[in-house]
Chains A and B, each alone.
Chain A
Amino acid sequence: MNNPYLPYPVRIESIVTETEDRNLRTIKLLFLNPEDEEKFKYIPGQFAELSVAGLGEIPIGIASSPTEKGFLKFTVNKVGKVSSHIHNMQPGDIMGVRGPLGNWYPWDLLEGKNIVIIGGGFAFTTLRSSIVYMLDPRNRSRFGEISVVYGARFPGLLLFKEELAAWEQRDDIKMHITVDSTDDPNWKYNVGFVPAVTKQKAPDSENSYAIICGPPIMIKFTLPVLTELGFPPERIISSLEMRMKCGIGICGRCNLGTEYVCKDGPVFTLEQLSRLPNEY
């Protein structure tokens, strides 16, 4: 059995600054040993540990989709020791990736259902993975209507702008991009907070699932809206963030009641969360 703590060596192919405040960068990684890509089979919603020798590892959601072959993408927020270092790395630099880790969005349950994706801030990464995955021609027909509510404080903080624009053009996905405020006269999307936009635009809760990821404050105010719209807790799905180290359910750090968030999560339904201590 492979050593589950040993990262696969990867090379940075490119680094793209996503946001105006330069706090979010997307790195594209290539496996040094092509056979490692085979071993790294992932499903949207999972995460990985990015490893920088000499500094340590950080858990980051996988932003690329398994339908995109040959590379992995991660969008990293500049926070502390490791994430800041990654921001300063250059194409060609060597680092490591360990994973895939954790569970994923319940794609088998979602089959045949309408899906509304609600995201805010940098948590949009695994949601990007999920959208690309669902829109893939081999997958699109497996799902019903797909709507996306995605919010940022102002336009400069939106991630994946080109892709957002491309999705806007399609008729098999309903995009509702919103910002808290803007003074850009050319802004053609919504202005308003995510909960309010959700209330207006979310599909009928009948036969629908909601996936919601973002800052705690956004989640706190959006959940009542979803409940009001008739989404039962078992059809509201979220992804938790916890401080993590091993990522494989051994080091004990991310323990929440009977669960290890890194292994049994990070994806939980609201119904599952209601049975766990509220300590996240």
Chain B
Amino acid sequence: MRAYTERIQEAARRLLTDNLVDVVIGFRKGTVPFMNEPFLAKNLDHVRQLYWDGNCGINLANYLAKRTDRVAIVAKGCDSRNIIVHLLEYQIKREQLYILGAPCHGMIDRRRMLASLDGKDPTHAEEKDGAITVAGQDFQVTLDRQEYLQENCSICIHRNPVIFDELLAEPVPEQQDVDRYPDVRQVEAMSPEQRWEYFENLISTCIRCYACRNACPLCFCPTCFVDESRPQWVGKSIDPTDTRTFHFLRAYHVAGRCTDCGACERACPVGIKMRQFTKKMEKDIKELYGYEAGVLPDQRPPLDTYRPDDQAPFIK
């Protein structure tokens, strides 16, 4: 990981010095274990703070929409896919971007990591050769990194950036024979009543803070439907109907655009697994249209294209 940090700093210094970009978007080291902070380096002084390790799970593409300056951005596989979605949706221009592709080993799931420590508070964590050593007052454990990846990372099939101007390291081997949808199939097999109950339970603790929406690079609408007051589509309380409406609509709105980057789940303060909605969308889009979001820079999401001769049977 130290190698990545050095490469990022080197590239940032070069790009800023040569005046090829105005700013560099990356991470700086966090103040608590398993956390880093998205960071905007504007000058050479800032460059020293740029940092990289397995705790860079936040999707940096979220900071790109509607920027007008020239930006270098560090991008993992999923970030790069969301950059493609941004390009397709006119949120930023390719000429503005200098993409520092970060072949990704998967990001660490902080919640699961902390839960496994059984209440013990870590003060230090270090990644080395596929292991994470966590230490705190009177304890030290070494854990298998692979076991503590974010769930979306453990089933990721695009770890290497799909679009970049330079790579920060040799490409990593992509995971093979990944079954991305066992959980979705399980839900599909349920009866409608069971499914209803499953999703009701899934979102029952939602506090409607919208962290999931705000962490998502796709959610750049000037006024989100939940915030509209005339007409008001959704009530503002935590009435189950309103919470449901929010989650269903959000899922549909990201259908065919979601890259399964996991930023939404990572951000949720109460640990709701809202990817259970978006993954079903993703699976359907793949099956119906053979489309994967943010992989091909010149192919628009199926649900935002229209052809009069569309063969799909539901257009009648």
Name the interface residues of B118-142: CB closer than 8 Å to any CB of A: none
Question: Which residues of B come within 8 Å of A, CB atoms?
Answer: 229-230, 232
> In the assembly, what is the distance between CA of A181 and CA of B262, in Å?
59
| B162, chain A: closest CB distance, angstroms | 43
Contacts of B229 in A (CB 8 A): 80-81
> In the assembly, what is the distance between CA of A160 and CA of B276, in Å?
60
Question: Which residues of A come within 8 Å of B, CB atoms?
Answer: 80-81
Contacts of B232 in A (CB 8 A): 81
5 contacts between A and B (CB under 8 A): A80-B229, A80-B230, A81-B229, A81-B230, A81-B232
Contacts of A81 in B (CB 8 A): 229-230, 232
Contacts of A80 in B (CB 8 A): 229-230
> In the assembly, what is the distance between CA of A269 and CA of B230, in Å?
36
> In the assembly, what is the distance between CA of A81 and CA of B229, in Å?
7
B229 closest partner in A (C-beta): A81
B232 closest partner in A (C-beta): A81
> In the assembly, what is the distance between CA of A94 and CA of B60, in Å?
52
| B61, chain A: closest CB distance, angstroms | 31
A84 closest partner in B (C-beta): B230
> In the assembly, what is the distance between CA of A81 and CA of B232, in Å?
10
Name the 5 nearest CB pairs between A and B, nearest first.
A81-B230, A81-B229, A80-B230, A80-B229, A81-B232
| A145, chain B: closest CB distance, angstroms | 46
| A57, chain B: closest CB distance, angstroms | 14
> In the assembly, what is the distance between CA of A10 and CA of B45, in Å?
64
| A111, chain B: closest CB distance, angstroms | 44
> In the assembly, what is the distance between CA of A212 and CA of B229, in Å?
32
| A80, chain B: closest CB distance, angstroms | 6
> In the assembly, what is the distance between CA of A219 and CA of B229, in Å?
30
Contacts of B230 in A (CB 8 A): 80-81
| B255, chain A: closest CB distance, angstroms | 31
B230 closest partner in A (C-beta): A81
> In the assembly, what is the distance between CA of A80 and CA of B232, in Å?
12
| A21, chain B: closest CB distance, angstroms | 20
> In the assembly, what is the distance between CA of A81 and CA of B228, in Å?
11
> In the assembly, what is the distance between CA of A80 and CA of B230, in Å?
8
| B253, chain A: closest CB distance, angstroms | 24
| A252, chain B: closest CB distance, angstroms | 16
> In the assembly, what is the distance between CA of A81 and CA of B230, in Å?
7
| A92, chain B: closest CB distance, angstroms | 26
| A53, chain B: closest CB distance, angstroms | 16
| A176, chain B: closest CB distance, angstroms | 39
> In the assembly, what is the distance between CA of A80 and CA of B231, in Å?
10
B231 closest partner in A (C-beta): A81
| A159, chain B: closest CB distance, angstroms | 26
| A82, chain B: closest CB distance, angstroms | 10
| A244, chain B: closest CB distance, angstroms | 15
A56 closest partner in B (C-beta): B229
| B225, chain A: closest CB distance, angstroms | 16
> In the assembly, what is the distance between CA of A120 and CA of B230, in Å?
28
| A33, chain B: closest CB distance, angstroms | 30
A82 closest partner in B (C-beta): B229
| A180, chain B: closest CB distance, angstroms | 30
> In the assembly, what is the distance between CA of A80 and CA of B229, in Å?
9
> In the assembly, what is the distance between CA of A209 and CA of B232, in Å?
45
| A115, chain B: closest CB distance, angstroms | 39
| A77, chain B: closest CB distance, angstroms | 16
